[in-house]
Copies of this chain bind each other. A is one copy, B any other.
Amino acid sequence: MKTIKYGLSAISLAIGLAASGISLSVSATEPTLSETDFDKAKLQYFQRCAGCHGTLRKGATGKNLEPENTIKKGQKRLEKIIAYGTEGGMNNFDDLFTKEEITNMATFIQMTPPVPPEMSLEQMRSHTKQYVDPKDYPSKPMHGLNWENFFVVIERDAGKAAIIDGDTKKIVKHIDTGYAVHVIKGTEHHKVDHAKDVGRFWYTIGRDGKVNKIDLWQTPDNMLVAETKMAYDARDIAVSGDGKYVIAGGYWPAHFVIMDAVTLNPLKVVSTRGYNTKGEFINEARVAAIYTAPNTSSFIVAVKETGQMLQVDYNDLDNLTITSIASAEFLHDGFFDPTGRYFQIAANASNAMVVVDTQDRALEKIIPVDSLPHPGPGANWVDEECGSVAGTTHLGVGLVSVWGNDPMGNPDQAWKLCYEVETDGAGVFIRTHENSDYVWADQLKHPEPEIQQSVQVFDKKTREIVKTIRVTEEEGKAALHMEFNKGGTEVWVSVWNRKDAKNPTGEIVVYDAKTLKEKARIKGLTTPTGKFNVYNRMNHKT
């Protein structure tokens, strides 16, 4: 075993080649773990920590956890932080990890972060398989159900997606997907490109990079039709307006992959590694959000750590045109305005909403909001004073911020804060429907159970909270994520548990969108998270 050492002095070599940026020697104070404990901690770190802190531990939503920072804190202090969390927003993990696991994790994060491998197009292709041959796809729905009012529901801890009939509230099928699916998207009505059978095919992206294709016209047992894998860690997916391509974005490797939407065969991979808006190189430049731009033949790819919004033409994959729109760090989740021209996305480390103009392929505006905006699926509606508006919840504060988003109709109000609504707790998701008088916000990030278990509803007209709804009172459970049904007459809210990870359960509670009264509870679900109503999503009804 040889130690290669580099001093800063080596950087000044006459011809300018400086020494290694990767330290191959580690300080004598760096603690150690057995190979077994190291591998276990590495796996747990990936599952529970990498999302916020990064696989390479450079930090993003969470703090930088490289040895130069963690060793200073010391084993005991790190164990405490992991166990009990911090005021700064770090969750407590004493309910998820054992004492020994906390000790090992505190040690692991003082060690040099292991760099995961790359993934080639060929490796991805080796994972591609057809459960149903495309030539055997039916030409009409093979069941008598009202599939346009189906809800496609992520069952996070089960690695499944549930198909629920919105009319009968019955679970049609639990479909095997990747680990902890983050998002599911289907084909949408597009203003330029017109896909066949809009709303029929849905695509899931797992945190493990697994992509699954669901055909809602099949008999329930045949709905899972194809599968592939495009990364080791991933978060978002979209389908092109013409329905020909699926695009998914990787956390690691930092890239996006365009697949054939029929077979899921990976066709093109593009790295997102690059420079942030300050001109610093970012190796772990993760793809946070991917959307299809409804008015142009292009995808929007948000790269978290570089603050670059990539507008990617899908017309010619061999001669691929991308506009890289420099905005703000760290990009997270976003949604389109009602016209489909502007994409509104949270830059949560900048406490701002970034607006991109997909027609001019340029930055439109950066709107300062409060601490850590997070709109989830977002909400657009009409305000009497400001005209067309949109809103976001915040991870850092109980507040819904509302801004004007109609620069043609209401230029004086556009891209400025119109008003704010204080809620009881910081939240993750906001949602409304054009037929509804109300906007719903969850409070998932608040530490108190009674608040975490309640969602708040405010009136579009009075801008006042009209009701706080305690969705569940079960210990260890929280309420999150709202979705309207096809007609906008019902709101579905998820109930989710994080405490009992070994035996996770959950339910969806259905409310009357007008009276705000409970109508039904859908049981038999495992940690239901995101829910996607087929009709609303194919028609951009937000």
Contacts and interface: CB of A to CB of B under 8 A. Distances in A.
Contacts of A326: 318-320
Contact of A16 (B4, B229, B319, B361): B229
A121 B17 contact: no
Contact of A115 (B20, B26, B232, B322): B20
Interface of A is mostly: loop
B15 A361 contact: no
A320 B319 contact: no
A445 interface: no
B323 A115 contact: no
Interface string A333-371: 000000000000000000000000000011100000000
Interface string A121-143: 11010000000000000000000
13 contacts: A2-B30, A2-B32, A15-B179, A16-B208, A16-B209, A16-B229, A18-B232, A21-B118, A24-B112, A122-B280, A271-B275, A321-B321, A321-B322
B121 A46 contact: no
Interface string A101-124: 000000000011011111111101
Contacts of A210: 16
B1 A1 contact: yes
Contacts of A515: none
Interface in A267-281: 268-271, 273-275, 278-281
Interface in A232-281: 232-233, 252-253, 255, 266, 268-271, 273-275, 278-281
- Most central of A18, A114, A233, A361 by chain B CB within 10 Å: A114
A320 B179 CA distance: 36
Given A28-B1, A281-B271, A17 B116 contact: yes
Contacts of A17: 42-43, 46, 55, 116, 208, 232-233, 252
Nearest to A306: B271
A13 interface: yes
A221 interface: no
A35 B273 CA distance: 32
Contacts of A18: 116-117, 232
A253 B281 contact: yes
Contacts of A232: 16-18
B323 A22 contact: no
B11 A117 contact: yes
A5 interface: yes
A6 interface: yes
Contacts of A111: 2, 4
B19 A319 contact: no
A124 B16 CA distance: 12
A268 B276 CA distance: 10
B278 A22 contact: no
Nearest to A317: B326
Contacts of A55: 17
The 10 closest A-B pairs by CB, nearest first: A121-B279, A21-B117, A271-B274, A16-B208, A118-B281, A20-B114, A319-B362, A321-B323, A17-B46, A16-B232
Contacts of A118: 21, 280-281
A357 B122 CA distance: 29
Contact of A19 (B26, B116, B207): B116
A371 to B, nearest CB: 27
Nearest to A325: B319
A4 B38 contact: yes
Nearest to A360: B319
Contacts of A2: 26, 30, 32, 111
A81 to B, nearest CB: 23
Contact of A278 (B21, B24, B122): B122
Given A319-B361, A321-B321, 14 more contacts: A16-B233, A19-B114, A24-B24, A24-B112, A118-B280, A120-B278, A120-B280, A266-B279, A268-B279, A270-B274, A270-B324, A320-B326, A321-B323, A322-B322
A483 B55 CA distance: 53
A109 to B, nearest CB: 14
A10 interface: yes
A69 interface: no
Counting chain B CB atoms within 10 Å of each CB, the highest count among A17, A28, A30 belongs to A17
Interface in A205-239: 207-210, 229, 232-233
B278 A121 contact: yes
A326 to B, nearest CB: 5
A47 interface: yes
Given A15-B208, A232-B16, A22 B22 contact: yes
